[in-house]
Structure formats: C-alpha cells, structure tokens
Amino acid sequence: MTKPRFLHAVEHGLRQAHRYPGTVLALYLFQLFASLISLYPFWFLFNRHAERSLIDALPGGLMNGHHLIEIGAAEAGGFQLAMVWLIGCGALALVGNLYLAGGVAVVVARGRGDQPALFRRAGFAFLPRFAILALWMLPFAALIPIAMITLESILTLIYGANPDDQLGGLALQLRLAVLVLAGFALKQLFALARLHMVRNPHRSSLASLAAALVFCFAKFRAVLGFLLIFGTAYALLGFSLFELRPFLPHDGWLLVVLHQLWILLKKGLDVTLTHAEWHLIDAYTDRPAMVGGGMPPVRRLPGL
C-alpha cells in the first residue's frame, strides 16, 4: 500500500527541522521578549507594593497571576494602566508574529537552512500582505464557537440536559479537544494561505485565501490527516505541561527554566509544521519539469 502524501510531508518536516536552529531561536526570543514586556507593569506594581512580603508568601508567589491582578487593583489607576499596556502589547505581538510568519515561510520555502538576511527581508516584504490576510481570516474565527455549539448540541442530544453528570471529566476533555482542533484548523488555513502567497508573490491576499480553501476541499483527506497529526502533537504538548505541573516546583528558577524549554520545544514544532505544510503543497501542486536532463527548475521568489 502506498504511503499517503501527507505522511511523507510530516516525515520530511521532521527530517528537515534540525536545519533551522537560528529560526527556532528567533521565534523563541521574540516570545520571550513579548512576555517580559507584557508582564512589566505587573512586576512594577509588585515591586512598589507595601505588602510584597505577604504576597510573596502566598501559594505560587509571583507566578500566580491572581496576586498580580489584586496588586494592580489595589494601586490607584494601576490596573487600568496595566490593561492599556497589555492591549498595546497584544497589538505589537500580532504585528511581530506576522513579521515572523513571513520570514519563516520564505526561509523554509528556500529549503537551505537558516538565512538571517533573507528572513529579515521577507518578514518586512510580506508583513502588510499578511496583515490584510489576517483581516480576511476574521470571519472564519466563527468556526471555533460553531464547533463548540455543535459539540454541546450533540452531547445534549445523546446524554440529555446535563451531559457532565454522566460523562464527568470526559465532557471537559471533549470540549478541550474540539477547541484545540478548531483553533488549529483556523491556524492551518491561515498557514496554507500564506504559503500560497509566498509561492505566488503576485497573488493578492484574498486570492491566496481562496486558493487555500480550494486546496483544503480538493485534498480534504490529506489536510484532515495533517490536521489530526499536528493537532494531536500540539494538544499532547499542552496537556504535558498541565499534567506535569503538580510534580514541578511551585516557583523558583527551575520552574522558569523548564517552562522556557517547553516554549523552545513548541517553537521547534512550529518550524517543523511549516516545513511539512510547504512539502504537502509541493506534493500536490508541483509538476515534473523537463529541464536540463530532468533536473527541476530552481524556484525563485520575486523581490527577495
């Protein structure tokens, strides 16, 4: 039996991911920087608070976000300032992620390992077009609540008005699984659209999104298999942090280091996913080239 092409794409992504350590590090450093900037107002309020020793003695200490919010609310205007700061950081994080998405997509498309200069140029070149693509993606965000409502309707139809009474914790796990898969499906659609845009740089954002939708419907089984494999991988990665939390220290540097290693692993999975997505598109859209003794032509990206 011939192995499905999406499995070949997954294997290809796993084999090639080690060639992009600099790209993974860039993704990790951006998230670390964004996290530190986002937490700055809370740290500032924490250091100013007169009852710091009391708060620090509470379970979780500074790692417990509820204490930070209570401190912010206790300071005159501090909580409002922190919220404005966080909204600004969210906008900055969105722009930063769109910039990184362009860099990663083009570097992976070249397939020659880390290329810092190309990463920077591609990030700026595709940033405005990816921003427009993100706006076109907003209507598809309704997929997540639709998926959750559909699940609730099915559970109610089968188990009655209170499915939690009969299923217990399984109902919560089903909701989490559907939420993760719906969110990942939305992310997958955006990823395919941006890779179509990188593959055809002169195509508009809306045309790239339409091409991604056509690809999803035309190769539904491949996209579904791809979605289940990587969706499960991301879910297991998230659940591992949740399940291991009781066995980890409540605070201290060891907890911080372990959490950073977890983030680094997730960024490595992001690059692996991008490489596999690109290989999947190539597997279904490339045509054999009759050039120079059967050698395929070099793909060029105009303007980069």
Q: Looking up tokens 């490595």, which residue turns up?
A: 268
pTM for this entry: 0.72
Domain regions of the chain by residue span: 5-284
Least confident of 34-43, 56-65, 238-247, 290-299: 290-299
pLDDT of residue 33: 81
Residues 182-197, buried b or exposed e (16+ Cβ, 10 A)?
bbbbbbbbbbbbbbbb
Six-digit token string for 225: 């298999």
Distance CA 210, CA 152 (A): 30
Q: Phi, psi at residue 201, to the nearest 5°? A: -60, -20
CA 29 centroid distance within chain: 15
Higher pLDDT, 260 or 133: 133
Distance CA 259, CA 253 (A): 10
pLDDT tier at 251, thresholds 50, 70, 90: low
Distance CA 268, CA 54 (A): 39
Of the chain, the end-to-end C-alpha distance in Å amounts to 41
Six-digit token string for 213: 């939708």
CB 250 within 8 A of CB 81: no
Q: Looking up tokens 């909580």, which residue turns up?
A: 79
pLDDT of residue 162: 75
Distance CA 70, CA 198 (A): 46
CB 19 within 8 A of CB 113: yes
Distance CA 196, CA 200 (A): 6
In this structure, which amino acid lies at residue 222?
A: A
Contact partners, residue 60, CB within 8 Å, separation at least 6: 67, 250, 251
Q: Which of 106, 101, 24 is nearest to 272 (CA)?
A: 24
Distance CA 114, CA 19 (A): 7
Q: pLDDT by residue (tens digit) across 145-167? A: 888 888 888 878 877 777 777 76
Distance CA 197, CA 185 (A): 18
- Across residues 257-281, what is the average pLDDT? 83
Measured CA distances, 289 to 54, 184, 292 (Å): 71, 34, 9
